[in-house]
Structure 1
Amino acid sequence: MEELVFLNDGSYELDAGAYFGIVPKAIWSRHFKDRDNKIRITTNVPMLNINNRHIILDAGIGNNFSDKFNKIFNPLKDHDIEKTLQNDYHINRVDDIIVSHMHFDHCGHVFSKNKLFRKSNLIVQKKELNAYRHPSEFTRGSYIRAQIIPEITRLKGSTRINGNISTIITGGHSEGHMVTVFSINSKKYMYGGDLFPSAFHIKPYYITAIDSYPLESLRMKKKLVKKAINENITIIFNHDPEHVMAMVYGTVEKPEMEFVDIKN
């Protein structure tokens, strides 16, 4: 049995300058509405069910927020993956959590003591785990200081997890950022993490201001867009509230998209 479903872990507000980087407001405002120069972004969490093994790609924003966090990011927990997995899918355990990186909005539930995650296997790049544990002055605000609950599998570079799933280390957004490429029912997908947080960011030079190594992001985005076009890979956007995934065609410099219904 192979199945792909999409969960949601709520939304939060982010400074538009952080999200769009050097892209002028005259361009991004055609697609996004801001409130006091902040935009609300969501947290789409793909779940793979492969031979009754439940795997999630990233772990949402979580549900343990400080007063300072609430004030800055104004999280809205109208959805929570813990509740959805237990109440709607009746799942008792998440077997693997493959995180693109350790920023707070991608690994929130790896700090949860809920039974769903206590015996999970957290799969993360060794470089990223080191960056999380030893943040710089630039990256410190992106990481949560808390106890990681699952067991940890440390990857060293691009790795094949199993016959269906491979990871590609990209760097760029963070020290050990990676994307996950997988197949479900003979269809190929790429979970782009924060190299492709939304459909808007499909253009290689549309890079967030949070990226630690933007030139590396640019290089890898070009490589991954070319791969998606050549191999008919559907790209999944983790922060896009309207378009969860799309097929990409055209050229690397001017990629075009055909949005895919998540029910397909």
Structure 2
Amino acid sequence: METLKVGKITLTWLNGGVTHLDGGAMFGVVPRPLWSKKYEVNELNQIQLRTDPILIQDGNRNILIESGIGNGKMSDKLKRNFGVIEESSIEKDLDKLGLTTKDIHIVLMTHMHFDHACGLTKWKNGKLVPTFENATIITSKVEWDEMRNPNIRSRNTYWKENWEAISEMVNPFNDHISITDEIEMIHTGGHSDGHSIIVLTSENERILHMADLMPTHAHQNPLWVMAYDDYPMQSIKEKQRWIEKGVQDHSWFIFYHDAEYRALKWNENGEITDSVKRS
């Protein structure tokens, strides 16, 4: 498990499983000869995308960013379609840290697409129950509303199996919310209508989790957005704003999906100046 300590905050990446999705869909209108120079692709034109939750520990709380793809939530057909070759082992990783799912206080959901939200529930005695029994689950109100009432496009990624069992645990917010003095969630839209990012600040150092606005380091160019984005121009607008701000502030950018980097810093020339790589 890779870790990053920034100020009083320690981040630890847990194994939430792995998918393989079409590279063309992940990079939208960007030609393969360009994006394939920046991110490894297999013979099926698929790229590896981790789904690894990030544990935030500040000495008082255990807070999770995203929830992984869970276990036993997908049929064999879905696993083939989404290139799932490994499911979640979050509970094993928590055990190595001396924790259980009961010790997670808050789960921050940037959005509720299946590859982020499957880990919120699990099968127990033939029924779906909350994975993190004592946690408050935080996502934007726009996202929570669409999760429960998806449209003709989004119903393929918002699954009732991922929300019905945790509906009483969800605390939706409008625009932005301060989770602690050091952690803030901000509604951006773009990838989904209710998509949010997470900003962590400790001892004058900053971490940006841009979630699926920038799923991998190869999506650094603001114009490189996914075909999966519901509102691509909003994605571009928010990427321009937050990448520029992050570079100016010497912020860490952290990733849930990236198969190579857990975290990195860029300078104004777009060069990586510091990084934590996945082992």
Judge conservation of contact 1:93–1:116 (CA < 8 Å) in 2: no
**Structure 1 unmatched runs, 5+:** none
Q: Please list the CA deviations of residues 222-241 of structure 1 after superposition, one character each: whole Å capped at 9, or x if unmatched.
A: 00011101222111121111
Q: Determine whether 1:111 maps to 2:121.
A: yes
Q: TM-score, normalised by structure 1?
A: 0.91
For 1:82, which of 62, 72, 91 is the aligned residue?
A: 91
Please report how far the alpha carbon of residue 185 of structure 1 lies from its aligned counterpart in structure 2 after TM superposition.
5.7
**Secondary structure, counterpart of 1:19 in structure 2:** helix
Please report how far the alpha carbon of residue 24 of structure 1 lies from its aligned counterpart in structure 2 after TM superposition.
0.4
**Secondary structure, counterpart of 1:18 in structure 2:** helix
For 1:73, which of 69, 73, 82 is the aligned residue?
A: 82
> Within 1, Cα distance between the matches of 2:51 and 2:245?
25
**Secondary structure, counterpart of 2:226 in structure 1:** coil
For 1:134, which of 149, 172, 175 is the aligned residue?
A: 149
> Within 2, Cα distance between the matches of 1:87 and 1:78?
18
> Within 2, Cα distance between the matches of 1:184 and 1:222?
24
Q: Which residue of 1 aligns with 2:32?
A: 25
Please report how far the alpha carbon of residue 161 of structure 1 lies from its aligned counterpart in structure 2 after TM superposition.
1.6
CA gap 1:35/1:80 in 2 versus in 1, 3 angstroms: farther
Q: Which residue of 1 aligns with 2:17?
A: 10
Q: Which residue of 1 aligns with 2:112?
A: 102
Judge conservation of contact 2:119–2:131 (CA < 8 Å) in 1: no
For 2:176, which of 158, 164, 189 is the aligned residue?
A: 158
Query: RMSD over aligned Cα, in angstroms?
Result: 2.1
Judge conservation of contact 1:3–1:184 (CA < 8 Å) in 2: no
What amino acid does structure 2 have at the position aligned with 1:96? Answer: I
Please report how far the alpha carbon of residue 257 of structure 1 lies from its aligned counterpart in structure 2 after TM superposition.
2.6
Q: Please list the CA deviations of residues 119-159 of structure 1 after superposition, one character each: whole Å capped at 9, or x if unmatched.
A: 21100000001111111222222222212426111111122
> Within 2, Cα distance between the matches of 1:106 and 1:119?
19
CA gap 1:47/1:28 in 2 versus in 1, 3 angstroms: same
* Greater mean alpha carbon deviation, residues 65-74 or residues 221-230: 65-74
Q: Determine whether 1:182 maps to 2:200.
A: yes
Pairing of 1:214-225 with structure 2 (within 5 A): 214-225=232-243
Please report how far the alpha carbon of residue 110 of structure 1 lies from its aligned counterpart in structure 2 after TM superposition.
1.3
Identity of aligned residues (%): 29
**Secondary structure, counterpart of 1:258 in structure 2:** strand
Q: Which residue of 2 aligns with 1:37?
A: 45
**Structure 2 unmatched runs, 5+:** 1-7, 123-127
> Within 1, Cα distance between the matches of 2:250 and 2:187?
20
What amino acid does structure 2 have at the position aligned with 1:128? Answer: E
Judge conservation of contact 1:44–1:244 (CA < 8 Å) in 2: no
**Secondary structure, counterpart of 1:69 in structure 2:** helix
Query: Which runs of structure 1 show a deviation greater than 6 angstroms over 4 or more consecutive aligned residues?
Result: none
Judge conservation of contact 1:180–1:192 (CA < 8 Å) in 2: yes
